[in-house]
Amino acid sequence: MTLSQKETSFLQDLKSQEQVCVDKYNRYSANACDNQLKTLFSQIGKVEQGHLDTINQMLNGTIPSMSSGTSGSGNQQASSGTPAPTYANNTNNEAKQNDCFLCSDTLATEKYVSDVYNTSIFEFTNPAIRDTLNHIQKEEQQHGKQIYDYMASNGMYQ
């Protein structure tokens, strides 16, 4: 697969964005107060690492198979049927404020990254690359939904 200079530039930008996501979710998983949120961030971080690996494969001239790395099916369980957070009764307002900040920041990140994918998809001529980027974008949108659902269920999203 041969990429144009513009396509390579878009992939380099996506690589940078995915690296930020991986780093952020790993750091935020460690810094979250609620165990449910720690787990959610950890799970999303693993999917983001798959996105980064996929982008790196494309930069190396390979179009990866979507069945081998980025699959959103495992993510959907994290936001439903989980126990109440440790601050459910407002006993630890500082912990809730911390987790609200982490969620707000990651939700903003997901919105931005999804938009970067949206623009990038239109710049590629290879339909397989476009499909791969579209698949990743859908997973980014799912991450945003999971974070929103967590925030809404915990009174963090007004």
CB atoms within 10 A of CB 60: 9
C-alpha to C-alpha distance for 46 and 16, rounded to whole angstroms: 16
Range of the domain at 101: 5-61+93-153
CATH number reported for the structural domain that contains residue 105 in this entry: 1.20.1260.10
Residue 64 — very low, low, confident or very high, per pLDDT cuts 50/70/90?
confident
Exposure b/e, 17-39, CB count within 10 A at least 16 = b: bbbebbebbbebbeebbbebbbe
pLDDT (tens digit per residue) in 66-86: 754 444 444 444 444 455 555
50-59, 60-69, 79-88, range with greatest mean pLDDT: 50-59
pLDDT (0 to 100) of residue 19: 98
Q: Does a structural domain hold residue 66?
A: no
Is 121 inside a domain boundary? Answer: yes
Q: Is residue 68 part of a domain?
A: no
Least confident of 86-90, 123-127, 150-154: 86-90
Categorize the per-residue pLDDT at 65 as very low, low, confident or very high, splitting at 50, 70 and 90: confident
Report the pLDDT value the prediction gives residue 75, as an integer from 0 to 100: 41
Q: Is residue 86 part of a domain?
A: no
**Mean pLDDT score of the chain, rounded to an integer?**
88
> Which are the contacts of 115, defined by CB distance < 8 A and separation ≥ 6?
none
Dist CA 139 CA 75 (whole Å)? 9
pLDDT of residue 84: 56
pLDDT surpasses 60 at 45: yes
Residue 88 lies in a domain: no
Q: Which residue has the tokens 């690296």?
A: 19
d(CA 37, CA 42): 8
Q: How many structural domains does the chain have?
A: 1
Residue 70 lies in a domain: no
- Alpha helices for the chain (secondary structure H): 5-31, 35-59, 93-121, 127-153
25 inside domain:
yes
pLDDT at 86: 56
Q: What is the pLDDT of residue 92?
A: 76
Q: Is 21 within the bounds of a domain? A: yes
